[in-house]
Structure 1
Amino acid sequence: MMITGKELGLHMKDHSAPLVELLQKHILFNLSRAKCLGLFIISMLNSRTVNMSLLCNRMPSGIKAASWYRRMQRFISEISISWRVLPVMLVMMTGFEQEQKWVLCLDRTNWKFGKRHINILYLAVSFHGIAIPLFGIF
């Protein structure tokens, strides 16, 4: 038996309409895909995790978590978003381009996958305590 986020008391309202509009405008998604990504982004921001199992329990639509999980797996496997478009879209979505001063953050992380080291270097801009990635080197 699958328990939905609503049954766990984790049901949240869908505030994704402005985000969906921006996604359609800047990434040229159809409405269904823009809504899917918009809800996923809102869920990540609200729950402060990228764990899909946890995120799918918090989706606002009342759809079962297992259905959201499968939908997100399909979405991630089928969609490719340009790394050049993403930072511009994120800055425009937040309205940050109107700020006079930008606080830039440089972050490096190193993971080991088996014997292979994976280094990631990111340049981000700080906006209300959230780092918005602008550029990354892998």
Structure 2
Amino acid sequence: MNTSQEYKSKDCSSALGQNFEQKINKARLNLISMMILALYKVRMVNYMDLANVFDSSANAESSMRRIQCYMADFDLPMILVSSFIFEILPEKKNLVFVLDRTNLKFGEANINILMLRICYKNNAIPIMFTMLDKRGNSDTVERIEFIRQFINWFGNDCIDCLLADRELVGPIWLEYLTQNKIKYHIRLRDIFKVSCFDKNEEKPVFRLFNKLQ
């Protein structure tokens, strides 16, 4: 088996070409391939770090300028990336999805990302994301539109269930998942109240588990 960096780069370019053919030109596909391999090696997104390990005869400064131009000028549609990830998945049925949100700061800028990932062999593979133009939690409309977009692209037959944290709740949101036959497992805050029909009362959910160690 040929394990050279040049061979890996060509192999990666070939795989990308099969999915992005006639949508992205060859020069950009080669650059994306080199960036993927560089990210795998350095595990950082700093442009100079990536440029230093590029499989290219050009010097690092030239490679960095090439990355900068690509990132500044080229818009890579989400559907192309998501379709590529979905296409190369070893399994496409009974998938466990994770919906999560991350809020961080880059300098003075707030970055708030709503991310959909697929669980596979103890890894969570990102397949879609959307940027929230605000701080804090996503709202019901944003979550529904996000999942609706996935269903429009890939259908809901591939979904076994959806996992989410306790901030991703709400009656309309849960009703939407139920109507679309999407099973869900979502954490509850311990102070959430549940109805105890046998006693005709409400109590905090943590009391249901008081007897557990």
For normalisation by structure 1, the TM-score amounts to 0.73
Runs of 5+ consecutive residues of structure 2 not aligned to the other structure: 132-213
The answer to whether residue 111 in structure 2 is matched with residue 118 in structure 1 is: yes
* Bigger Cα displacement from structure 2, 95-104 vs 63-72: 95-104
C-alpha distance in 2 between matches for 1:75 and 1:30: 12
3-state secondary structure, aligned to 2:5: coil
* Number of equivalences: 124
Q: 1:85 aligns with which of 69, 80, 88?
A: 80
Say which one has the larger Rg. 2
Computed over aligned residues only, the root mean square deviation of the Cα atoms, in angstroms, reads 2.4
3-state secondary structure, aligned to 2:99: strand
Shift of 1:128: 5.3
Contact kept? 1:91, 1:132, Cα under 8 Å: no
Contact kept? 2:9, 2:55, Cα under 8 Å: no
What one-letter code is carried by the residue in structure 2 that aligns with 1:91? F
3-state secondary structure, aligned to 1:16: helix
For normalisation by structure 2, the TM-score amounts to 0.50
C-alpha distance in 2 between matches for 1:128 and 1:17: 27
Say which structure, 1 or 2, has more relative contact order (CA 8 Å, 6+ apart): 1
Identity fraction in percent? 25
Cα shift readout 1:56-92 (whole Å, capped 9, x = no counterpart): 1111224211010001111112211111121111232
The answer to whether residue 34 in structure 2 is matched with residue 35 in structure 1 is: no
Contact kept? 2:86, 2:92, Cα under 8 Å: no
Contact kept? 1:123, 1:136, Cα under 8 Å: yes
* Bigger Cα displacement from structure 2, 63-72 vs 20-29: 20-29
Contact kept? 2:51, 2:64, Cα under 8 Å: yes
Runs of 5+ consecutive residues of structure 1 not aligned to the other structure: 1-11
